[in-house]
Amino acid sequence: MKSKNNRHVLITGGAGFIGSHLAEALLARGDVVMIIDDLSTGRLENIQHLRDNPNFSFAIDTITNELVMDRLVSECDLIFHLAAAVGVQLIISDPVRTIETNILGTHAVLKAATRYRKPVFIASTSEVYGKGERVPFHEEDDRVLGPTTKSRWSYSDSKAIDEFLGLAYYHKFGLPVTIVRFFNTVGPRQTGQYGMVVPRFVQQALRGAPLTVYGDGDQSRCFCNVRDVVRALLLLAGTPAAVGEVFNVGSIEEVSILELAQKVRMLEGEQQSEIVFISYDEAYAPGFEDMQRRVPSIDKVTRFTGWRPQISLDETIQEVITYYRAEES
């Protein structure tokens, strides 16, 4: 039953890393949350603690199931579309799944949302900028991508098509669509299984295993705590002017991957883990292309909402360590 005051929010990919944190934050402020997740990369454990909440419900299904999506979309006031194939490792190993999940999935969400005119937030990624070298990346910057023979770039293009499609639905049908490009989001519940570096380093350090730095470790990223990212999403959802716009959401605290490995080792107190360097060819695939630096400009999201990240990288690493210590004990 719909109550008057609380918003009913649908999260696709709600059992995933970011989706489960978003669900938690929405429930905490009294919203009613429905999620749909096919558990391909999401996990029931991520939402286990929410299952007894009367304001929470979930459907284990794919977002391309039209009947299920039709019902869920008809019952909600707002959609966060986070279901996607993500993670460099996954993309390299299964580009068909990446392309199909991302493009067909987003198309299905937009079609259903248009039927009921429901606002949609589409999760996109800093990968859309590709290997552009001029940092920080602004939302209107050109995209610089490698050839189609390198499957990494299929992720960038699949999410760019999602963005094009979302903006096209906004312009053609007046569907309220907002695009949010996440930059290296990290925190508890993120798994290292699909390549993400922070959970990988933390788990390696906890096992006393070598920390695997790919390349020379001089490449840098900005890691943003998932709680900061969720706060940005909630602020954007309360900002009518955000409709039809694209926003970077990420940290601006830049760290090289070698420094990251050293930080993880120090914070974990596991000085005996050595740091080993592994070539990209060996880590991913022959001819793999990485980006050297990736830094967002967050001027636009700050201008629209006042949002800035508040949680430091050290604090975030500590949270991830605490999470994995508890998981592994």
Distance CA 212, CA 240 (A): 44
| Window contacting ligand UDP (CB under 6 A); options: 27-35, 36-44, 76-84, 191-199 | 191-199
Q: Shortest gap between Cβ of 172 and ligand UDP (angstroms)?
A: 31
| Window contacting ligand UDP (CB under 6 A); options: 9-17, 209-217, 235-243, 318-326 | 209-217
Token reading at 50: 């929410």
| Window contacting ligand UDP (CB under 6 A); options: 95-103, 131-139, 206-214, 224-232 | 206-214
Q: Classify 9 as helix, strand or coil.
A: strand
- Identity of the residue, 14 or 195, whose beta carbon is nearer to ligand UDP in the bound complex: 195
Does 202 interact with ligand UDP (rule: CB under 6 A)?
no
Distance CA 282, CA 214 (A): 9
Q: Which residues contact 218 (CB under 8 A, 6 or more apart)?
A: 256, 257, 258, 292
Does 321 interact with ligand UDP (rule: CB under 6 A)?
no
Does 221 interact with ligand UDP (rule: CB under 6 A)?
yes
Does 122 interact with ligand UDP (rule: CB under 6 A)?
no
Distance CA 124, CA 15 (A): 17
- Identity of the residue, 219 or 318, whose beta carbon is nearer to ligand UDP in the bound complex: 219
| Window contacting ligand UDP (CB under 6 A); options: 32-40, 162-170, 196-204, 238-246 | 196-204
Q: Is 280 known to be catalytic?
A: no
Burial category of 52 from C-beta neighbours within 10 Å (exposed 0-12, middle 13-18, buried 19 and up): exposed
* Helix runs in the chain, H state only: 17-28, 66-75, 88-93, 95-116, 152-173, 197-207, 226-237, 257-268, 280-283, 299-305, 313-328
Q: x/- contact string, 285-304, with ligand UDP (CB under 6 A)?
A: -----x---x----------
Token reading at 91: 């993309």
User: Which residue numbers are catalytic?
Assistant: 155
Q: Which positions touch ligand UDP (CB under 6 A)?
A: 88, 184, 195-197, 200, 212-214, 219, 221, 257, 290, 294
